[in-house]
Copies of this chain bind each other. A is one copy, B any other.
Amino acid sequence: MIETPSLVDQYCHGVLRTELGLGTFEAHLARGEGPPAPGTTFFDTQTGFAVRRWCPPLLGLEPHCPPARYLARRRELGVPEAGRRLLRGSGITTYLVDTGLPGDLTGPGELAAAGTAEAHEIIRLELLAEQVADTSGTVESFLANLAESVHGAAVNAVAFTSLAGVRHGLALAPEPPGPGEVRGAAGRWLADRPVGGTLTDQVLLRHLLWIAVASGRPLQLHAGLGESEPGLRIDRTDPVLLTDFARATAGLGTDLVLLHGYPYHRHAAHLAGVFPHVYADLGAVLVRTGARAAAVLAEVLELAPFGKLIFSSGARGLPELHVVGARLFREALARVLGTWVAEGAWSLTDAQRVAGMIASENARRVYGLKG
């Protein structure tokens, strides 16, 4: 049996503090543009079935019990207690938490306490830029504050994450924009922008990426089925579009981590094989594909060197998703590697070593976490 005693979740969010009804819980099981179709429910998805498999036992129920029964039990325990039982049952020992999502979500400290785990913060670049814009009077002060903010955040944050792919598509010009170009774009954006306005300008998105690259912290890029914009054309987030940016940033000492990737996960694995500073994520896709997690994991393991893959849950809002991400990953990894050992393709020693690398060691090395 291949085991992974230590599990670093390299990308997730906090959990909701509020109680959820059947409908609000269900809404977190999918990433749709709208409610489920009439006559259907998001519980009838791989994510829904995976939640029903793994989570009821952690709250003292039978696997696959009906959603209404599960939610009744969750209410009975209360959100904090249910969250503690779930997070502690996930087996995750370290959470890296993107704190840039709106909504009443727990921060890294609360997540760590609830899960008796460690937690570190990931800074979302676009949110940082929007916050700086809210408090900067001029283009010059905005740009100076922006650089200072990113470098300041790099002191405590474990990584940066960028939504450039989700907001603009990943076909960004690979080189850093020139200073005049940046000033022009900043001027236009600040002039038009209401307080809290979203950053989508591609010059500023690229400028942000390059400030982050200069900080030396690992930079996580959303690719494939990503965050926040379910109806985006997914071909615009194909990680292959990052090839030229990867080449432009090679040798600078900053690692790039491609989050998600699916359904272009083989492309992400390819880039992780080609560029020494590029890593691929194995995470949210497992939560989305449920019973197919082992099959998808195996596809990523085709081209990616084993030192270049890192686990994450990609969970947001529901502690159930942290559980499902971790359990699916462990089971899928044990099944895939175990099969290869049984077939004689891999040795058991190698399989155990690779499992440890993907579950936690690669993350510890890339993010500089203590063992």
Q: Is the CB of A354 within 8 A of B44?
A: yes
- Among A28-36, A112-120, A145-153, the one that faces the other chain is A28-36
Collect the chain B residues with CB atoms within 8 Å of residue A291's CB: 301, 340, 343, 345-346
Beta-carbon nearest neighbor of A349 in chain B: B64
Shortest C-beta distance, A235 to chain B (Å), equals 5
Nearest residue (CB) in B for A277 is: B37
> Which residues of chain A (37-94) have a CB below 8 Å from chain B?
37-42, 44-46, 49-50, 52-53, 63-64
Residues of B close to A49: CB separation below 8 A: 345-346, 350
CB neighbours (8 Å) of A196 from chain B are none
**Best-buried of A31, A33, A35, A289 by chain B (most CB within 10 Å):** A33
Interface residue from B53, B247, B344 paired with A231 (Cβ < 8 Å):
B247
A154 within 8 A of B: no
Q: Looking across the interface, which residue of chain B has its beta carbon closest to that of A305?
A: B45
Pair B263/A266 contact, Cβ less than 8 Å: yes
Chain A contact residues (Cβ within 8 angstroms of B): what range? 35 or more
Out of B31, B50, B231, B302, name the residue touching A292 (CB < 8 Å): B302
Docked Cα-Cα span, A299 to B298, in Å, equals 13
Write out the residue numbers on chain B whose beta carbons fall within 8 Å of the beta carbon of A37: 276-277, 305, 307-308
B273 and A50 within 8 A (CB) = no
